[in-house]
Chain A
């Protein structure tokens, strides 16, 4: 079962390093936080003009998946559950002003207590949710 779910350690670390490099590039050049939910939020609200860099970032985000394929994502829930989960993710990340990238990576790198608290909260609640779904509801 380990082999089914685990990926090579070098991939975990190299992938993380690339994400960290993305955050480093964006703060040192554009002076912006590489928070996906915030970037998507502003883009959806048509904040273009001087902030059109967000479209360039989002295009870049999708290109590796378009070129190399996004692998074979194995979903852990059906479409209706994913629709509901998406609602919670969208609403929650905007209400909490950040997601795994904005709070988890950038906020922690910024040594922000606010982001540490947010990260502990969403990670802890996500672990509790998985526990509930897998071990209590037996879904």
Chain B
């Protein structure tokens, strides 16, 4: 059952990325180009995503287990450390250069081409190079 729900979540996510235009680097870059011809469309996408996910997260906090009876793997919410800041800054440079973040980076592989493959290869090498990662923070009660 958890395979099926994960598949459904993946389908929704992939459809959302396509519909919102996030799989088009030009649209993403137009959002990041605040001093140029700024296009706020992605701000609406992010706001809508958070607005839909927020009630679900708040509901999840009040349940001991998920509807499938699974324990929730809560990440740390408060630990603001060097890896968080440095890693996010490095990600920002890559996102700004390419207009591609990890989700769209996978979705664009469905239309094969040198550009998509180049980004994907770089991303995989980058992920593997990031190990060993700092110790995983413990679960957060709520």
| Residues of A that sit less than 8 Å from B by CB | 1-2, 5-7, 9, 11-34, 36-37, 40-41, 44-45, 52-54, 56-66, 68-101, 103-115, 117-119, 121-135
Q: Closest approach, in angstroms, between the C-beta of B119 and any C-beta of chain A?
A: 4
Q: Which of B46-62 contact A (CB under 8 A)?
A: 46-57, 59-60
Please indicate the chain B residues that have their CB under 8 angstroms from the CB of A113 in the complex: 77-78, 80
Q: Closest approach, in angstroms, between the C-beta of B68 and any C-beta of chain A?
A: 5
Q: With A89-B91, A90-B130, A123-B92 in contact, do A80 and B75 touch (Cβ < 8 Å)?
A: no
Compute how far the CA of A76 lies from the CA of B98 in the bound complex, rounded to whole angstroms. Answer: 6
Q: How would you classify the secondary structure of chain B's contact residues: helix, strand, loop or mixed? A: helix
Please indicate the chain A residues that have their CB under 8 angstroms from the CB of B34 in the complex: 127, 130-131
Compute how far the CA of A52 lies from the CA of B1 in the bound complex, rounded to whole angstroms. Answer: 12
Please indicate the chain B residues that have their CB under 8 angstroms from the CB of A97 in the complex: 75, 83-84, 87, 133
- In the complex formed, the residue of B with least CB distance to A65 is B110
Q: Which one of A33, A64, A118 has the highest number of Cβ atoms from chain B below 10 Å of its Cβ?
A: A64
Please indicate the chain B residues that have their CB under 8 angstroms from the CB of A114 in the complex: 76-80, 84
Tell whether, in the assembled complex, residue B49 and residue A57 are in contact, meaning their CB atoms are under 8 Å apart. Answer: no
Tell whether, in the assembled complex, residue A86 and residue B123 are in contact, meaning their CB atoms are under 8 Å apart. Answer: yes
Q: Which residue from B2, B26, B101 sits with its C-beta under 8 Å from A89?
A: B101
Compute how far the CA of A90 lies from the CA of B17 in the bound complex, rounded to whole angstroms. Answer: 19
